[in-house]
Structure 1
Amino acid sequence: MTPDKPLQDELVAVAHRLADIARPATLGPFRGQALQTRSKGEGGFDPVTVADRQAEAEMREHLARVRPRDGILGEEFGPVPSQSGLTWVLDPIDGTRGYMSGTPTWGVLIAVANDAGPLYGIIDQPYTAERFHGGFGTARFDGPRGPGALATRQTATLAEATLFSTFPEVGSPEEGRAFAAVSDRCRLTRYGMDCYAYALLALGQIDLVIEAGLQAYDVAAPIAVIEAAGGVVCDWQGGPAHRGGRILAAANPHLRDAALEILSAAPS
């Protein structure tokens, strides 16, 4: 069920307040000499910083005060069950490898979702002071050059398309081959942008983002922003993508269908 207008306005205000809270928590240590980083994973380097945990903790504290019946799904702490039918999906620093390397391609991801998927989302980049937000009938951005509307491109064919992905290897060898087959048909392929690539798609600068192995907190906010801007996001079979996994974000249905023709053949 879509929230009524007063509730929509409240959720939008809370989402932007969360982004405002996360900005100083993440920006303060960025490019600092004393940045503390450790690896979460046992099978490879999966970094987390003190800033990740601090930003999410502060956002959770705010939600506990203003929306105590809502659920929370975040990257750094355990889930909070929803009593209201709404869940906040938080990634305090999407792109921690970029963050610890000093590149401004990381971001704070905030979304509010129901069982059907994200309703409203924010991709916030504190260092560049850019905020991309969409849902409830709006798709906007704010930045150093002022505010504006988000709108995806109408690129008609893969041969004209610019494709992004965070990692060149994408996922498993089979997933990598499927990605390469799409890439071979695109005009340009670039890597390493994390959530910023999804923001660029919503902004009308690029055409496709294809990734694998994502979590719900990696994609909820980008889905809301891109779909509000006129794009489409699905899994590699054309189904819902808000639970993560294999992700295809496209500027329009024509590019989605062309990419799915290739990606859908990848073994599960």
Structure 2
Amino acid sequence: MSVVDLARFMDDLATESGQAILPFFRAHFGLDDKARGGAAFDPVTEADRAAEVVLRNMIRQTFPTHGILGEEFGSERLDAECVWVLDPIDGTRAFIAGLPTWGTLIGLTKGGVAVRGMMHQPFLGERFVGDGASSRLRTARGERTLRTRRCDVLADAILATTDPRLFVEGEERDRFQAVEGCVRMARYGTDCYAYCMLAAGQIDLVVEAGLKPYDIVALIPIVEGAGGIVTAWDGGPATQGGRIVAAGDPRLHKAVLEHLNP
């Protein structure tokens, strides 16, 4: 399949999964706790499951030799050269609360490297797409290129993270707070939207922990295509999730790693 056809297929994935999700948004729907009453509430909705079923069926029909890793229904053929990495609703808590800071993450890895990604926000009609070399935002009003902004010092930076409780109490939380204490402003509750706003030049830094591959793979080509950088806290690849730092300016990324790895 050509690059153009692949882009069209990803658009089709977004369209069909969005149609499965939107009837549930700001409506009454079934809700389960994957943590089964544990200390950390881990919600999943009917919309999550419905959208991932759509995504998986379309990928199986079009690319039967590709692997799939999804949040709700596990993995298949992870030894394939090409693997789709899916999160039908990243930001389920925001979805439950009726807030539009959630999105469908559709990522593709080749040889373990994140090569294409899309974040689709169907309620707002936004599609953030990237291939590591360029990134664009498409809406009903048109399309524009995404570029991160210059910001080389923490004191000037806007930081985002989904929830400060992501960080394990002790050294991990202390390291995050050391970064947070240096920035100009911090925002919480952003999920995947933070990385897209970083790519769009609205914020400068995202620091998170406890992520899974499906939380980050689709976002890597978007951020990198806009000129940013995404790594683990130790500077290694981010594709396996865990502790993640994304920055719009490589100089800022270097400064943050010094705080996260004292």
SS at match of 1:87: strand
Aligned pair partner of 2:145 in 143, 149, 160: 149
Structure 2 residue identity aligned to 1:108: T
1:181 aligns with 2:178: yes
What is the Cα deviation at residue 95 of structure 1? 0.5
Aligned pair partner of 2:240 in 239, 243, 252: 243
Alignment of 1:70-109 (within 5 A): 70-82=66-78, 84-109=80-105
Instruction: Give yes or no for contact 1:128–1:144 (8 Å, CA) kept in 2.
Output: no
Residue aligning to 1:16: 11
User: In the aligned structure 2, how far is the partner of 1:239 from the partner of 1:84?
Assistant: 22
**Structure 2: 5+ residue runs without aligned partners?**
none
Structure 1 residue identity aligned to 2:194: A
User: In the aligned structure 2, how far is the partner of 1:136 from the partner of 1:219?
Assistant: 14
What is the Cα deviation at residue 16 of structure 1? 1.5
Larger displacement relative to structure 2 (12-21 or 207-216): 12-21
Alignment of 1:156-171 (within 5 A): 156-171=152-167
What is the Cα deviation at residue 84 of structure 1? 4.8
User: In the aligned structure 2, how far is the partner of 1:140 from the partner of 1:79?
Assistant: 29
1:39 aligns with 2:36: no
1:263 aligns with 2:260: yes
Instruction: Give yes or no for contact 1:37–1:49 (8 Å, CA) kept in 2.
Output: yes
1:143-167 superposed Cα distances (whole Å, 9 cap, x missing partner): 2542100101111211110000000
Alignment of 1:43-54 (within 5 A): 43=38, 44-54=40-50
Residue aligning to 1:226: 223
Q: What percent identity do the matched residue pairs reach?
A: 45
What is the Cα deviation at residue 187 of structure 1? 0.4
Residue aligning to 1:200: 197
Aligned pair partner of 1:120 in 104, 116, 119: 116
What is the Cα deviation at residue 168 of structure 1? 1.9
Larger displacement relative to structure 2 (13-22 or 51-60): 13-22
Instruction: Give yes or no for contact 1:25–1:55 (8 Å, CA) kept in 2.
Output: yes
1:72-128 superposed Cα distances (whole Å, 9 cap, x missing partner): 000000211057510000000000010000000000000110233210000111111
Alpha carbon RMSD of aligned pairs, Å? 1.3
Structure 2 residue identity aligned to 1:19: A
Aligned pair partner of 2:188 in 185, 191, 200: 191
Larger displacement relative to structure 2 (82-91 or 246-255): 82-91
Instruction: Give yes or no for contact 1:69–1:82 (8 Å, CA) kept in 2.
Output: no
What is the Cα deviation at residue 224 of structure 1? 1.2
Aligned pair partner of 1:29 in 18, 24, 32: 24
What is the Cα deviation at residue 64 of structure 1? 1.1
**Structure 1: 5+ residue runs without aligned partners?**
1-5
Structure 1 residue identity aligned to 2:21: T
TM-score, normalization: structure 1?
0.93
User: In the aligned structure 2, how far is the partner of 1:83 from the partner of 1:163?
Assistant: 36
Instruction: Give yes or no for contact 1:156–1:254 (8 Å, CA) kept in 2.
Output: yes
Instruction: Give yes or no for contact 2:87–2:106 (8 Å, CA) kept in 1.
Output: yes
TM-score, normalization: structure 2?
0.95
SS at match of 2:257: helix
Q: Give the ranges of 4+ consecutive aligned residues of structure 1 lying more than 4 Å apart after TM superposition.
A: none
